[in-house]
Amino acid sequence: MSTSSKTSPPPSPTHTHVEEEPDRVQLIHGLQGGSTVKGAARPSKPSREGSAYDDGRSADRRYYGGTPPPLGREPSHLRQDMGESAQTGEFSNIQSRVEPTPISPAVPAPGLQPTPFPPLRPTTTSASSRPYSSFSKSTKIMIVALGGLAGAFSPISSNIFVPAIPTLSNAFHKSESAISQAVTIYLIFQAITPSFFGSMSDSFGRRPVYIATLIVYLGANIGLALCPANAYWLLLVMRALQATGGSAVISIGYGCVADVSEPRERGKYSAAFQVGAMSGPAFGPLLGGVLTQTLGWRSIFWFLAIATGVVLIPLILFLPETLRSIVGDGSIPPPALNTSPIVLMQRRKMAKELQDASHDSEEVQRPPPKPYQPFSAFMILFTPEILLVFLFASLLYLEFYSILTVYSTALKESYGLSELKIGLCYLPSGIGIIISAQLNGRQLDFWFRREERRVGGDYRKKPETFDIEYTRIRCLAPFCVMFLSSVTALGWCLQVKAPLAATLVVNFFMGLGTGTIGTATVYGQDIAVGKGGAVSASLNLVRCIFGAIGVAAIQSMYKALGAGWTFVLLSGIVILGIPMPLLVIKKGKLWREKRVERRKRNAAEKGERVRS
């Protein structure tokens, strides 16, 4: 039979590159506009970039050429086609694939190659293509900035009161010892109340508890400013309320940081928040001295009331809810009680977008609510690795707070400085604290990412190989060495009456060595996932107890031993605590594995009892 008489075979379903382009364009359009599985085009949805719930993925538009998929989720048929490549991020650019690909507009042909897709962003996990947080970087910065400003009120309120004690003694016709009880009461409530409010924010949301506690703090400052001089009891009550409202915002703020930042970037955001919380003890005495000498003791509390209002107004207007059990990664609209007025005005539009997105991607489920556990901050301390790290960090805080307390007395005796000049001498340590927080945050993130590269994933994905204890706790070493050596040198500078410039330089390096509190907080949040507020409250409880002990004993130690040997003794106490973090590095992973096994065993036993 001749060649010309042969029957031509039917055309192959595999198109050439030119014929394939319409289908490929239709498929890509499905990615952009949210088409159905069959490729039916839909109108693209407006981007939510710039709102309080900005998902921060606008950078991915360079891959799509338009609006990214709603909520950052790819259509289910594409996600299935990606296979294992989606876990490793081994993708090629859509435009770089030029080989003919057998594609059907409705059903993928057998042997279909993985659909080209942009590489996973570094904030996604292997379990999901969704980022850890959908808040944009600018929104995260706003959350941390507002939290840091609010977090500065508690430590400032504790120390700003001290320079006014002699003046208050004359005004209320009480001894200085009696007026000092207001400081003691503040420290007691500063230690206890965050434990309950931090746990409350872990259940009911950060935003409502944030606002409520700041309103209490604002009212207490107004009450202190108006307190009559013949009502000493009212002074004590208002100080207790001031501590209740002011100290709670620190634990809530740390919880917000844990909500919006994944572990690989948590050090940076925690450091920014820590600036306000740690610099208060250094700047408080200066503010208190200046205001008392120029405007009188009541001006201290009017200043705090005005500053609170300045922070509270933008917090009410703009702060979004961040609790993950309410808003997930930030893309789920919260209840009205947890919604800022700015977002509430956009809520109908957001709800419509979310409803439309559910047609194109996997359904967004609201996480189950967390029951209120008022004692969760105390229960966290039964976790041995967290307790040991917190104890060691609190020893350093004891030494730091004790030195700040006796520093003014030592400066006056050694150099004969006035109250205003003594307040200025606290500035070097305050500047050192700010720099220390930033250095520690960068260090935490650097070592975490280095460990990620070593094991190929963070500790939640590969807990058997990721050494979270060593990665975090190693950051304590440089700051401990700097802090202990600087404190010892500072004590002897005061003892021998060295030049004031030398004392101030050493004081700066002492502040530079205070990065340990941030490390302890971040490590606790890594271990107790989802309990950021309770973790911070637990650390606050332990360190405030230690700080109160140090404040109670430091004056007697200073009078008996002098500045040099007093500071040496305090450093020796900290050195005795060094085995605690070393023990956590060695045993922490084993303790965590035992807890997991115990929970699995208890769950299995409970299941057997239910079946029987």
Q: Are residues 139 and 74 in the same domain?
A: no
Same domain, 447 and 406: yes
CB of 148 within 8 A of CB of 273?
A: yes
Provide the CA 176 distance to its chain's centre, in angstroms. Answer: 39
Asked if 403 and 263 sit in the same domain, the reply is yes
Is the per-residue pLDDT at 123 higher than 70? no
313 and 407 fall within a common domain: yes
Q: Could you tell me the pLDDT band of residue 57, with boundaries at 50, 70 and 90?
A: very low
What tokens does 369 get?
A: 């609510």
pLDDT beyond 90 at 507: yes
In a domain, 3, yes or no: no
Point out the least confidently predicted range of 89-93, 107-111, 376-380. 89-93
Contact yes or no for 196/541 (Cβ under 8 A): no
Quote the tokens at residue 279: 């610099």
Burial class (CB in 10 A: 0-12, 13-18, 19+), 157: buried
In a domain, 543, yes or no: yes
What is the spatial distance between Cα 103 and Cα 23, in angstroms, rounded to a whole number? 7
Residue 460 C-beta-side C-alpha neighbours within 13 Å: 13
The set of residues, in sequence order, having a beta carbon less than 8 Å from that of 404 and lying 6+ positions away, is 159, 281, 282, 285, 426, 429
Percent residues over pLDDT 90 in the chain: 24
17 vs 579 pLDDT, higher one: 579
DSSP secondary structure code for residue 362 in this structure: P
Q: Are 268 and 183 in contact (CB under 8 A)?
A: no
Instruction: Specify whether 107 is located in the same domain as 160.
Output: no
Cβ atoms of 541 and 394 closer than 8 Å: no
What is the predicted pLDDT for the residue at 20?
A: 41
What pLDDT digit, counting tens, does each position of 263-302 carry? 888 888 888 888 777 777 768 878 888 888 889 899 999 9
pLDDT at residue 288, rounded to an integer: 85
The Cα 490–Cα 471 span in angstroms is 31
Same domain, 145 and 97: no
Integer angstrom CA distances of residue 514 from 27, 484, 540, 549: 55, 10, 15, 19
In angstroms, rounded to a whole number, what is the distance separating the alpha carbons of residues 81 and 292?
A: 70
Q: Does residue 502 surpass a pLDDT of 70?
A: yes
Q: Is residue 363 part of a domain?
A: no
Q: pLDDT exceeding 70 applies to what percent of the chain? A: 74
Statement to judge: residues 291 and 383 lie in one domain: yes
Distance, CA of 576 to CA of 573 (rounded, Å):
5
Do the Cβ atoms of 495 and 562 come closer than 8 Å?
A: yes
95 pLDDT above the threshold of 70 = no
Residue of 166, 188, 182 whose CA lies nearest to 247: 188
| Segment 307-314 mean pLDDT | 94
> If you count them, how many residues does the chain have?
612
> Mean pLDDT in the chain?
76
Residue 47 domain flag: no
Per-residue pLDDT at 4 exceeds 80: no
- 500 to 156, 401, 422, 510, 513: CA distances (angstroms): 25, 21, 11, 15, 20
Determine if the pTM surpasses 0.85. no
Contact 160, 186 (CB under 8 A): no
What is the C-alpha to C-alpha distance for residues 514 and 437, in angstroms, rounded to an integer? 8
pLDDT band at 354 (very low <50, low <70, confident <90, very high): low
Neighbouring C-beta atoms of residue 229, cutoff 10 Å: 12
Q: Write b or e for each residue in 561-596: b if 16 or more Cβ atoms lie within 10 A of its Cβ, otherwise e.
A: ebbbebbbebbeebeebeebbebbbeebbebbeeee
Question: What residues contact residue 289 under an 8 Å CB cut-off, 6+ apart?
Answer: 163, 419, 420, 422, 423
Q: Residue 44: is it exposed, middle or buried by C-beta count within 10 angstroms (0-12/13-18/19+)?
A: middle
pLDDT value at position 24? 42
**pLDDT at residue 127 in the model:** 46
Confidence of residue 5 (pLDDT cuts 50, 70, 90): very low
Domain range for 32 is: 13-41+52-83+91-111
Under 8 Å between Cβ of 182 and 239: yes
- Cα–Cα dist 5/292, whole Å: 110
In one letter, which amino acid is 335? P
Q: Inform me whether the pLDDT recorded for 252 exceeds 50.
A: yes
Of the chain, the end-to-end C-alpha distance in Å amounts to: 78
Longest CA pairwise span in the chain (Å)? 125
Instruction: Identify whether 222 is part of a domain.
Output: yes
Amino acid (one-letter) located at 307: A
**Tokens of residue 128, six digits:** 């999901």
**pLDDT of 368:** 67
Between CA 223 and CA 225 the distance in angstroms is 5
Helix, strand, coil % in the chain, rounded to nearest 5: 70, 0, 30
Q: What's the sign of the alpha-carbon dihedral 19, 21, 26, 27?
A: positive
**Encoded amino acid at 325, one letter:** S
Let me know whether 382 and 512 are in one domain.
Answer: yes
* CATH number assigned to the domain comprising residue 584: 1.20.1250.20
Which of 281, 167, 282, 306 is CA-nearest to residue 235?
167
| Cα within 13 Å of Cα(534), Cβ side | 27
- Please report the pLDDT score of residue 247 as a whole number: 87
State mean pLDDT over 529-535: 82
Per-residue pLDDT at 485: 94
- Based on the fold, state whether residues 378 and 483 are members of the same structural domain: yes
Same domain, 26 and 144: no
Q: Which of 417-423's residues contact partners 24+ apart within 8 Å by CB, and which partners?
A: 419/163, 419/289, 419/293, 420/289, 420/290, 420/293, 422/285, 422/289, 423/163, 423/285, 423/286, 423/287, 423/288, 423/289, 423/290
What is residue 349's predicted lDDT score, i.e. its pLDDT?
62
Specify whether 102 is located in the same domain as 227: no
> Is residue 125 pLDDT above 50, yes or no?
no
Which of 234-248, 415-429, 498-512 shows the lowest per-residue confidence on average (mean pLDDT)?
A: 415-429
The reply to whether 120 falls in a domain is no
Residue range 358-388, pLDDT digits in tens: 444 445 556 666 777 778 888 899 999 999 9
517: enclosing H helix or E strand: helix 516-527
Residue 340 counted as domain residue = yes
Closest by alpha carbon to 540, among 197, 162, 180, 112?
197
Do 321 and 401 fall into the same domain?
A: yes
Integer Cα distance of 292 and 99 in angstroms: 78
pLDDT 10s digits, 562-611: 999 999 999 999 999 999 999 999 999 899 888 888 888 888 888 777 77
Least confident of 39-53, 178-192, 302-316: 39-53
Ramachandran class of 89: left when φ > 0, alpha when ψ lies in -120 to 50, beta otherwise: left
Split at pLDDT 50, 70, 90, the class of 158 is confident
**Over residues 456-485, mean pLDDT:** 84
**What is the spatial distance between Cα 72 and Cα 57, in angstroms, rounded to a whole number?**
7
Which alpha helices (DSSP H) does 161-231 contain, by range?
A: 165-172, 176-204, 206-225
Highest mean pLDDT among 57-66, 89-98, 139-148, 346-355: 139-148
Structural domain tally of the chain? 2
The reply to whether 23 falls in a domain is: yes
| Rounded Cα distance, 100 and 15, in Å | 7
CA distance 131 to 57: 9
Judged by phi (left if over 0) then psi (alpha if -120 to 50, else beta), residue 136 lies in: beta
Distance CA 252, CA 272 (A): 15
∠ CA 379-380-381, nearest 5°, is: 90
